[in-house]
Amino acid sequence: MFSTKKSLEKFMQAYKNEVRRHISKTTSVTNSDAMAPRLDQSASKSPQAEETGPKRLLKLQKYHRFLSTLTPQEMPMATRGLAVSKDQSREFMAVFPDIVRDLTETGKHIDVPEASKWLAKLLQYNVPNGKKNRGLATILAYKMLEKKENLTPENILLANVMGWCVEMFHTHQLLLNDIMEGTTMRRGVPCWHRRPDVGLNGINDAALIQSAMYTSVKRHFNSKPYYNYVLETFNEMLMKCSMGHYVQKLMLKTDKPDLSLFTMEKYEAITKYKTSYYTFQMPVSLALLMTGVDDPETHRQAKTILLKMGEFFQIQDDFLDCFGDPTVTEKYGTDIQDGKCTWLAVVALQRATPAQKQIMEDNYGVNKPEAIARIKDLYEELQLPHTYSVFEETTYDLLRTQIQQVTRGLPHELFFKILDNIFRRSV
């Protein structure tokens, strides 16, 4: 156990140093027959997928560790969502229509029925159709943290409602992010703002979903002792996400990204603020509040491990964006042509020779098939798939150790459950 904040920080620094040491060790490895289709070589291509000639399989490097992210039988949480029972998924989905009804058919705003009708359409199109990782994680955490005698039907219903509030928060972020980044498709359908009847009005729709979230929180939780803490949590997460978007945009002030800003420190900051806080910390924090745990030290300990999980979750997502099979991941990666600061780009720049850095300068952030293919080839030349495989296994081992040492007074089973969902392992 870590008795002081100073000793915890010392452990975290050792954690980072160990991971970076393993990354730096993986600079050479022999070829093998390990195969994985690349996005531009998939049998099924999107209209925007690059065409590079005859289909061929990409030879990845031989891994002395098991690269679970590319195993098709059982994809990671970044692709397939949180593993929960079918009963839990059905229970969660069954609550959503009631939430929409409460927001649109409760007698409020009767003088603007068209606005209520639009809100219902907005919610139904955008909120329930993703993997719902964050909402389901909220319920999972609550059920594992709450005392058995308190798991009444009423309290379980409240946990499901809180899960949907988390999903509405997520949807608010997605709508704004899609507009800012010019995204065209989301979850296999056109992004909300790409609809002919929406456009830039999607900015107001994002605000409408955020308001719907706060309305639902007030309706169901305003009499609870933790109500104010819940509001503070949502407000804090909104601030952190907005800061994360701003820092990311700083790297794309022009048509081309500023690769001199692509450092690991900057990448970790963007990942923490844009993803880790609200994807991993927020669901567990809300569950802790619902079970009556408002002790700052307990929340801090949970935050420490959850933010590290969130960082790996984003790194995993970056890897899948480039090397994942779109027939399995159900998405075509665009990080390279979008010029995003990703883990792959940062590690590549750390290792690249001057000539290879010039290749990055000339091709990264360029939306042309040949430029995208050149960057992917460079990643292979720099042995990044192998580096990732070692990083994945090392991170898993270190996180398991950290769970045992940091989460004092909290059920280790909860954190192991989340961890193994990320890494697609079963306990």
219 and 231 inside one domain: no
151 and 288 part of one domain = no
Give the separation between CA 270 and CA 203, rounded to whole angstroms: 22
- Rounded to 5 degrees, φ, ψ at 193 are -70, -15
**Range ranked top by mean pLDDT from 25-34, 212-221, 415-424:** 212-221
The token duo for 138 is: 């909220």
Question: Do 165 and 249 belong together in one domain?
Answer: no
Judgement on whether residues 253 and 357 belong to the same structural domain of the protein: yes
Residue 120: which H helix or E strand, with range? helix 113-126
Q: What are phi and psi of 33, to 5 degrees?
A: -100, 10
- Which single residue is written with the structure tokens 């029972």? 85
User: By the 8 A CB rule, do 278 and 241 touch?
Assistant: yes
Q: CA 216 to CA 168: how far, in whole Å? A: 10
User: Is 48 a member of any domain?
Assistant: no
Q: What pLDDT is recorded for position 317? A: 93
Q: Is residue 51 part of a domain?
A: no
**95 CB-near residues (< 8 Å, 6+ apart):** 157, 160, 161, 164
Domain contains 245: yes
- Could you tell me the pLDDT band of residue 187, with boundaries at 50, 70 and 90? confident
109 with 116: CB under 8 angstroms?
A: yes
pLDDT at 47: 39
pLDDT tens by residue, 374-388: 999 999 999 999 999
Does 133 have pLDDT greater than 60? yes
- Which percentage of the chain shows pLDDT scores above 90? 67
Rounded Cα distance between 206 and 185, Å, is 17
- Expressed as residue numbers, the domain containing 178 is 77-223
Q: Which one has a higher pLDDT value, 55 or 363?
A: 363
Does any domain span residue 37?
no
Are residue 237 and residue 217 in the same domain, yes or no? no
Higher pLDDT, 92 or 80: 92
Asked if residue 59 has pLDDT above 60, the reply is no
Ranked by mean pLDDT, the top range of 101-105, 187-191, 206-210 is 206-210
- Assessment of whether the complete model's pTM goes beyond 0.85: no
- Cβ contacts of residue 173 below 8 Å, gap of 6+? 241, 278
Please say which residue of 185, 207, 223 terminates a domain. 223
Query: Across the chain, what does the average pLDDT equal?
Result: 84
Query: Is the pLDDT confidence value at 427 over 50?
Result: no
Number of domains in the chain: 2
Same-domain status, 243 and 214: no
Residues 208 and 240 in one domain: no
**Whether pLDDT at 268 is above 90:** yes
20 domain residue, yes or no? no
Last residue of a domain, one of 164, 194, 223: 223
Q: Which of 223, 238, 272 is the last residue of a domain?
A: 223
Quick one: DSSP state of residue 281?
I
C-alpha count within 13 angstroms, C-beta hemisphere, residue 198:
21
* Contacts of residue 375, Cβ cutoff 8 Å, sequence gap at least 6: 336, 359, 360, 363, 364
Q: Is the same domain home to 245 and 184?
A: no
Whose CA is closest to 392, among 350, 423, 347, 425?
423
CB 291 within 8 A of CB 400: no
Cα gap 415→427, rounded to integer Å: 11
Q: Is residue 315 part of a domain?
A: yes
CATH number of the domain that 102 lies in? 1.10.600.10
Residue 252 within a domain: yes
Q: Please check whether residues 291 and 353 belong to one and the same domain.
A: yes
What is the pLDDT at residue 350? 97
Q: Tell me, yes or no, whether 186 and 235 share the same domain.
A: no
Identify whether residues 235 and 159 lie together within a single domain.
no
Residue 68 lies in a domain: no
Are 111 and 202 in a shared domain? Answer: yes
Q: Is there a contact between 227 and 221 (Cβ–Cβ < 8 Å)?
A: yes
Residue 181: per-residue pLDDT: 87
Given a contact cutoff of 8 angstroms between Cβ atoms, the answer to whether 307 and 8 are in contact is no
